[in-house]
Amino acid sequence: MKRLRIAVVSNHYPPHYIGGYELGCRDVVNGLQARGHEVKVLTSTYNVDGPEDDGEVYRWLVSLPPWEPVSSGGFFRLLRREIINRRSLTRLCRTFSPDLIYVWNPAGISLSFVFSSQPTNVPVCYFVSDHWLSEWESDFGYGMWSYRHPRRARRAVWKTLLPLLDASKVLRRPRPPDFRRVHFASRFLKDAALAKGKPVACAKVIHWGVNVELAPYQTESQNPLRLLYVGQVAPHKGVHTAIEALRRLVREHGYEAATLTIAGGSVNPDYEQQVRRLVSSSGLERSVRFTGQLPREQLLSLYRHHAILVFPSVWNEPFSITVLEAMSSGLAVVGTPTGGSLEILRDGENALVFPKEDSRQCAAQILRLWTEPGLLEKIRVEARLTIESEFRFEQMVDSIEQSLQEVAAGAGWCECLGVV
């Protein structure tokens, strides 16, 4: 098998990361390097003082929030980002000469610069773990060429400036993205992109995988009254449903010894305060513990001290790494079968499910694990078997490696696919 030179592009990369998908990117990079491939990562200066690199990770890109306003100076900050990011990728391609570019998350750094930077025809492949591909047209790197500023004077400046930048090659008009080579983290994400008319019929679905050695199975279950939630403290994650379910279990069923650990940070202080008020008004101050965001090592340890993972997500989850790690560790999952979670959770076999924002049914499913003899152990065992047979990290890297070999060799996945 050919030794590949791979340039990975991602908005965030550990140790300066946002969540599980960034950690997943690092795991795949490490996995490919362990197999002899040379991998360089181009990422943003998020959470660092300025551009830096260590020979493997190049923190050169400018990242801006997706909601960055185009008025009041925001427009020119976006323009500056485009110029810097295109030059950064061009620089890496010239010094590293990659066989291919593997894009993981363009949110905040712009999708357009990938196809407009490198002077050579380096093939590009994408790993899609959220909904950005379905909505790529909203990328400002493309939209700015047709953007009309609400102020006439600024609109006139922009109408004059863009052609000059294009003609001088400072900022060339981007080519449309080519989505002939795409990896989706779930069938749900692929179906969502197809439903919006994106030409990804022959894209590959490569599910996340778990390193079972890092998330070892606990042969003896922990105290089943110890419940765990892992994830952002955000409305779409449904943390309030987990708290309301605990309140029902305590008040209506008398399980006063039941506890809930909430492990995760928040970028929504209003919702976090709402959740804390719910805990207080429910009289659960001694039953609910907030840990804040934890490093992965501490999270893996936390799994080993709990018996049940409550996964009350409200939105359509792309594909949950948290659920996989919990199942590998021997926790029984009680969760909502939304989005990509349907590809993991099988009700009554390897998990118990309930409708989103239905705290009564959530509590009822937890109660089953507490009262039905053998059910908790059955769910735990089947969950681990599911991970071992379907969602091992080695399987994920195998699929990615084989696919990237095809990309580097110029093999077409689907002749019917064209340019968007």
**pLDDT (tens digit, 9 = 90+) per residue, 142-177?**
877 777 767 777 777 777 887 887 777 777 777 788
73 and 144 co-located in one domain: yes
Report the chain's terminal Cα–Cα distance, integer Å.
Answer: 32
Q: Are residues 173 and 242 in the same domain?
A: no
Does 415 fall in a domain? no
Q: What's the CATH number where 344 sits?
A: 3.40.50.2000
Q: Per-residue pLDDT averaged across 205-233, rounded?
A: 94
Structure-model confidence comparison of residues 220 and 41, the more confident one: 41
Together in a domain, 373 and 304: yes
Do residues 52 and 35 share a domain? yes
Assess whether 232 and 191 both reside in one domain: no
Residue 110: inside a domain? yes
Overall pTM > 0.85: yes
Nearest to 110 by CA among 80, 148, 72: 80
Structure tokens that stand for 318 in this block? 């792309």
Does one domain contain both 230 and 117? no
Do 241 and 344 fall into the same domain? Answer: yes
Provide the pLDDT for residue 116.
66
pLDDT tens string 243-278? 999 999 999 999 999 999 999 999 899 999 999 999
Tokens representing 90 are 């061009």
- Residue 67 lies in domain: 5-209+394-408
Mean pLDDT of the chain: 90
The reply to whether 107 and 152 lie within a common domain is yes
Cα separation, 278 vs 281, in Å, equals: 5
Domain assignment of residue 163, yes or no: yes
306 and 182 share one domain: no
∠ Cα 146 150 151 (to 5°)? 115
- Prior bond to 15 cis, omega within 30? yes
- Contact (Cβ atoms closer than 8 angstroms) between residue 265 and residue 294: no
* Among 61, 106, 108, residue whose Cα is nearest residue 83: 61
Half-sphere exposure of 245 (CA within 13 A, CB side): 31
Q: Give the whole-number percent of the chain exceeding pLDDT 90.
A: 70
Instruction: Examine residue 156 and state whether it is found in any structural domain, yes or no.
Output: yes
Which tokens sit at 21? Answer: 């998908």
Q: Which of 230, 241, 227 is nearest to 292 (CA)?
A: 230
Our count of domains for the chain comes to: 2
Cα–Cα distance for residue pair 276/290, rounded to 1 Å: 9
Closest CA relative to residue 224, chosen from 327, 329, 366, 354? 366
Whether residue 335 sits in one domain with residue 260 = yes
Tell me the C-alpha to C-alpha distance, in Å, between residue 420 and each of 129, 134, 178, 205.
Answer: 20, 12, 6, 20
Let me know if residue 38 belongs to a domain: yes
Residues 132 and 267 in one domain: no
Measured distance CA(344)–CA(330) in Å, rounded: 15
| Residue 285: predicted pLDDT | 97
The alpha-carbon radius of gyration of the chain (Å, integer) is: 23
| Residue 283 counted as domain residue | yes
Give the distance from CA 376 to its chain's centroid: 29
As a whole number of angstroms, the distance between CA 126 and CA 136 comes to 13
On whether residue 216 sits in a domain, the answer given is: no
* Percentage of the chain lying above the pLDDT 70 cut: 93
- Nearest-10 crossing angle of helices 239-251, 269-281: 0
For the chain, the maximum distance between any two Cα atoms, rounded to a whole number of angstroms, is 74
Task: Residue count of the chain, please give it.
Answer: 420
Q: Is 325 contained in some domain?
A: yes
- Residue 399 sits in the same domain as residue 379: no
Which 3 state secondary structure label does DSSP give 268? coil
